[in-house]
Amino acid sequence: MKWTFEDGRPIYIQIVEQMKVLIASGAYAPGEKIPAVRELAVEAGVNPNTMQKAMSELERDGFLHSERTSGRFVTEDIEVIDEMKKTLSREFVRDLFEKLDRLGMSKEEIIAAVEQWAEEAK
């Protein structure tokens, strides 16, 4: 996976956000074991403590769970994953509308642009 980070925002929060997308998209399937913290930290180019903080946050929120000596696994609770998808999609749509609104586009123009893109993407 290609990890990307923005300046000015805590890295662990960005890791949490990117992991949520990976889980919601099925890149990490329900019940799948995720790589160890050190392995993920090396892959992302971050301190293992930063990765551990992100994984703990995901665990606290119910997206991951630990099994004593086996490691961390994605939740098998499909309702939790579906709710995360809905939340992420609302955030993505809100961000899109905010960005296009800054360009001076009306709600109707934005919807028309999205519909046109969807038609062209077929």
55-77 pLDDT, tens digit per residue, is 999 999 999 999 988 999 999 99
Average pLDDT over every residue of 38-66: 97
Phi, psi of 82 (to 5 degrees): -60, -40
pLDDT on residue 68: 87
Radius of gyration (Cα) for the chain, nearest Å?
A: 17
CA distance 93 to 95: 5
Q: What is the pLDDT of residue 69?
A: 87
| pLDDT tens digits, 90-119 | 999 999 999 999 999 999 999 999 999 999
User: Is residue 85 a contact partner of residue 24, using CB atoms and an 8 Å limit?
Assistant: yes
**pLDDT score for 76:** 97
The string of pLDDT tens digits covering residues 12-39 is 999 999 999 999 999 999 999 999 999 9
